[in-house]
Structure 1
């Protein structure tokens, strides 16, 4: 029993497919869709796998908040305040010439990504070398990513943009694209510049669609009185309320000073320094003991103690006056919920878009098979007409051959008839009367005989007239055979030509979008490349079979014509000589009742045809259901059967993709 249980367990583990379980939330939903779209039946591409993995990373990626505004509005200082550290360079001209992504990392570092796709890392202190648009060697850089071990970056990724009225139009275009995609926007402007015409124009052009996720931050409040701040804030709310959900006056300078000196920040900085030194010392020291660590640990504890003993009330007050907390609250209470909802909507929209792309690509493949089906269907009438034309054309040719053969029969009959000659004969008849008893009278009469030597001489020996006429008829018949065979080949050539025109573009068929299945398109190209094996070969074999049937019929007919016409003539002459002899016998017995038989020309012709088997020849060549008619009818039926079969075969290939489209639409509806 235990052996059986073990077998069942092993079987289930190996062959029974377990339903995969997914985590709760957006990432789990994406994984569920990913598993369905990467099912083996779709032969998924690496690109599809990558883009779905990217969506999972996107779901887990922190909310993005863009910092933008007109140049020299203090964006870098403001970001440094949010990060509680002087990381980004500041200046009096548009310094930031590239998009900077500020993300969480285990250590401070800078990643430079170039338009070529190359990447390099640099110390964070070197960031100014890669962001100052006053330098001329920055054009190859696409964007920068700054990593910092700060808790705020675990949930929020800041995007520092070049601004919307930068000296470079490409920088403005880059900023515009960023604003469209991020979860929230902080528009930073100086209080004394807020509301100017130039800014109003920029807001009208770029910011009118982002109100629900946008915060207007009026920087440098520390330079103005409270009344001035309140007046400007109310003015901006009234004038630009349609662009922003909220307007907040702040002092980035005060916020940076207070936050960078805050005990929590100082403790965190000391912790980062301590951990970094500990890791480095651990790498170069004996790991069997931590003696090297004791002094550093004591120093670290003393520093933390001193930081905690510092009176931070001034910093706290400075932080409150900076009003930076209003910005953080807006991010947490307004941007974050909307960003999460917006991200989920955007990701699911993109997933549906992926499904739509896959459906479109499958429809591209279906169109390949549809066009072939259309060609096969449209060819039917033309092919059937071509077969009918073969019958019409070569029936006339066969009738001409028949006329030639009939002329031969008529000539043979006429020559035989001309060679019927008279000859004298006598019979004895008993005389009447008593005196003439037992006495006979010799009576002469005319009878007929056929000069066969003359017939053979005139027809066969002297100029071989009949032989030449037969050879001419056989040659005509052979030409009909060759021409009809070629006509059959032309039917196949027409089918092949149409399908080859279809084949040419699809042998090079390529997917339009990278995420489409390489294997599906490769399979379709292979189908097009192998169209002879897949479609044409059946038609080709049928045409060759039809030609073979024609040849067999012609071979049979040639055999019939090869029957010795001399023997036929001899048999005919012998027949009529017998008829004449029999008539003479009857005539001599009862002359008053019987006459001497003289063959008529039409009788000779009829007998010649009978001896030659001309009835079969006539049926073969001229009847409405002659051999050509029968082969053509068979060809038509065979063609229609094959065409139907090949259409059904192509339809079956097409249905595979229709089913896949249905499956993808079901997946899309589940998103």
Structure 2
């Protein structure tokens, strides 16, 4: 099966052609037809057009402003008035003048070609519906190698001028005809600049008969200074004198130019030039696509770099969390001390003397204790100051935490905005029709699905990181920041029971046991423990949990980036391979 496909491919795309310029053109058209290159029918047709153009006579355009004498000049060649002349625009369509043994005039309409008599060409009918062009055939030796194209005059009207400029691309050489009285005007130079620079051109200045010799010399000198960069030759002629067979007409400059044209040399040069434009345009398309993909690569690379360069002050944040827990514990510990109450109690001990046998003595003593319920109410309900302090601490820490998240969210929002702008620019760009839609689709499919293929990956990674940070902060909130009341209850209960336990031992043996009174530091350390201070000190300082979360996030971003870069570069390689194959097709014409 594979062998059959390969054989079919070879039969279709490995044909042999003659070893000459025309053969090279045929090989080029066939090689560019390879479906793997994804070139459009228009592009292939342009190559076939050049092939067709090569086999035709030289196409020589006659251009100038209306009433400059173009038709009069061409009539001199035929020795008869085959083209209409007049003081108003008369060449409403291009007239092609070709070689034939017998005279013939054909008119091309939208849907037909019909034969006309020569009077039709002389009639100045600008309003012939559907007329596209006129072809005149006549027996003239010069026309065996040359087809002359009489063009609508420039500056007649916008429609005629645009039509004439569209014809420029088909010319192998051209004759620019102007009038002596208007030669060298700024408007004329502007039109001349639009002519193709690589083709042979001559400037003929008509109506020299209206100037004396000094005026002719001055005009010739001026035109040489201004227009010599556009034309190989500048000559003054007189169609009027030529029609009168006046030897001073210099009409031979016109004939000599036509006879000097080397068909093979000019065709090769012009076709090679046109092919280079097509080749450059195709390479430009692939370069533009590659540049767009490079821009995409650079943007997502910059996102990772921006994320890596975020200067999140975790040490300060960790320190502030622990300081907050320590500050709360210190404040509550101080309130513990302030709420110690001195109490009096007594116990009975048996007397040891013989006289007081079975008698007991009363022992009174003082001790300090905390009443858990009263102390708790005093700290949290009777004094609003402590609650305000705790709320302030929580608010400040929450703002720091949100700032950390914001620092990482901002680059994400920026890259999403930049990628969407790039996406809009790419999918709204003007497509050049030299390649098929699937050629652009190599990159467009990525840009159109940018959210699904790229942005979503970064959003998921960020939300996963944000969730991890939220879980860490929520743990701090639940176990510490929001747990200070419960921690206080636990500490109150602990110290109350410990004080009472010490009283029991003291009352059993006051000499051996002492009454227990917690120190300020002991209360403080107990509160730190009950507020999970040491757990979070281990988590934030020793295990560096918050750093670990960021490191995991950046590692995930890097993995996503590498995946995207690989996908983009695969597309670029595909574009580059096609571009190299296209370039190889044109190698004979470089």
2:429 alignment counterpart: 509
Task: Select which of 345, 350, 353 maps to 2:274.
Answer: 350
Give the conservation status (yes or no) of the 8 Å contact 1:97–1:132.
no
CA distance in 1, matches of 2:546, 2:290: 40
TM-score (norm 1): 0.63
CA distance in 2, matches of 1:172, 1:612: 89
TM-score (norm 2): 0.70
CA distance in 1, matches of 2:195, 2:411: 62
Structure 1 position 414, deviation (Å)? 2.9
Give the conservation status (yes or no) of the 8 Å contact 1:65–1:156.
yes
Kindly provide the CA deviation profile for residues 581-616 of structure 1, in whole angstroms up to 9, marking residues without a partner as x. Answer: 45665654xx4xx64443323223323433554311
Q: Is 1:497 equivalent to 2:417 in the alignment? A: yes
Kindly provide the CA deviation profile for residues 455-493 of structure 1, in whole angstroms up to 9, marking residues without a partner as x. Answer: 222214896469984984896466666665555544422
Q: Is 1:157 equivalent to 2:157 in the alignment? A: no
**Which sits farther off after the overlay, 27-36 or 197-206?**
197-206
Kindly provide the CA deviation profile for residues 202-234 of structure 1, in whole angstroms up to 9, marking residues without a partner as x. Answer: 79657897769x9x999999988xxx97xx79x
Secondary structure of the residue aligned to 1:528 is helix
Residue 498 and residue 581 in structure 1: after superposition, are their counterparts in 2 closer, same or farther (change >3 A)? farther
Kindly provide the CA deviation profile for residues 171-191 of structure 1, in whole angstroms up to 9, marking residues without a partner as x. Answer: 999999899887898989999
Residue 389 and residue 10 in structure 1: after superposition, are their counterparts in 2 closer, same or farther (change >3 A)? closer
CA distance in 1, matches of 2:182, 2:394: 88
CA distance in 2, matches of 1:51, 1:367: 26
Q: Note the aligned Cα RMSD (angstroms).
A: 5.5
Residue 190 and residue 534 in structure 1: after superposition, are their counterparts in 2 closer, same or farther (change >3 A)? same
Give the conservation status (yes or no) of the 8 Å contact 2:326–2:528.
no
2:116 alignment counterpart: 124
**Aligned pairs (5 A) from 1:54-93:** 54-64=49-59, 71=69, 75-80=73-78, 88-89=82-83
2:29 alignment counterpart: 34
CA distance in 2, matches of 1:199, 1:143: 37
Structure 1 position 666, deviation (Å)? 3.5
Residue 440 and residue 670 in structure 1: after superposition, are their counterparts in 2 closer, same or farther (change >3 A)? farther
1:410 alignment counterpart: 333
Give the conservation status (yes or no) of the 8 Å contact 2:37–2:582.
no
**Aligned pairs (5 A) from 1:521-600:** 521=440, 524-561=443-480, 564-565=486-487, 566-579=489-502, 581-582=504-505, 587-588=510-511, 591=512, 595-600=514-519
Secondary structure of the residue aligned to 2:434 is coil
Give the conservation status (yes or no) of the 8 Å contact 1:383–1:491.
yes
Residue 193 and residue 455 in structure 1: after superposition, are their counterparts in 2 closer, same or farther (change >3 A)? closer
Q: Is 1:623 equivalent to 2:541 in the alignment? A: yes
Give the conservation status (yes or no) of the 8 Å contact 1:101–1:159.
yes
Residue 616 and residue 138 in structure 1: after superposition, are their counterparts in 2 closer, same or farther (change >3 A)? same
**Aligned pairs (5 A) from 1:376-387:** 376-386=300-310
1:456 alignment counterpart: 373
Q: Is 1:23 equivalent to 2:23 in the alignment? A: no
Residue 612 and residue 142 in structure 1: after superposition, are their counterparts in 2 closer, same or farther (change >3 A)? same
Give the conservation status (yes or no) of the 8 Å contact 1:449–1:577.
no
Kindly provide the CA deviation profile for residues 55-93 of structure 1, in whole angstroms up to 9, marking residues without a partner as x. Answer: 121112223456899849974555446xxxx78247798
Q: Is 1:146 equivalent to 2:136 in the alignment? A: yes
Give the conservation status (yes or no) of the 8 Å contact 2:84–2:121.
no
**Aligned pairs (5 A) from 1:294-313:** none
Structure 1 position 349, deviation (Å)? 1.9
Secondary structure of the residue aligned to 1:165 is strand
CA distance in 2, matches of 1:492, 1:179: 50
Give the conservation status (yes or no) of the 8 Å contact 2:345–2:365.
yes
CA distance in 2, matches of 1:580, 1:641: 65
Structure 1 position 494, deviation (Å)? 2.7
CA distance in 1, matches of 2:255, 2:74: 23
1:340 alignment counterpart: 264
1:423 alignment counterpart: 345
Residue 515 and residue 473 in structure 1: after superposition, are their counterparts in 2 closer, same or farther (change >3 A)? same
Residue 409 and residue 379 in structure 1: after superposition, are their counterparts in 2 closer, same or farther (change >3 A)? same
**Aligned pairs (5 A) from 1:88-237:** 88-89=82-83, 97=91, 99-103=94-98, 108-111=104-107, 121-125=113-117, 127-130=118-121, 144-146=134-136, 156-160=146-150, 164-165=177-178, 201=219
Secondary structure of the residue aligned to 1:100 is strand
CA distance in 2, matches of 1:423, 1:191: 141
Structure 1, unmatched stretches of 5+, are: 1-6, 248-329
Kindly provide the CA deviation profile for residues 328-380 of structure 1, in whole angstroms up to 9, marking residues without a partner as x. Answer: xx95xx64xx2212211211122122111222232222222233333334444
Residue 368 and residue 602 in structure 1: after superposition, are their counterparts in 2 closer, same or farther (change >3 A)? same
Q: Point out the structure with max Rg over C-alpha.
A: 1
How many residues align structurally? 544
Give the conservation status (yes or no) of the 8 Å contact 2:62–2:149.
yes
CA distance in 2, matches of 1:219, 1:408: 116
2:173 alignment counterpart: none
Q: Is 1:365 equivalent to 2:289 in the alignment? A: yes
Secondary structure of the residue aligned to 2:177 is coil
CA distance in 2, matches of 1:437, 1:66: 150
Structure 2, unmatched stretches of 5+, are: 154-175
Residue 579 and residue 30 in structure 1: after superposition, are their counterparts in 2 closer, same or farther (change >3 A)? farther
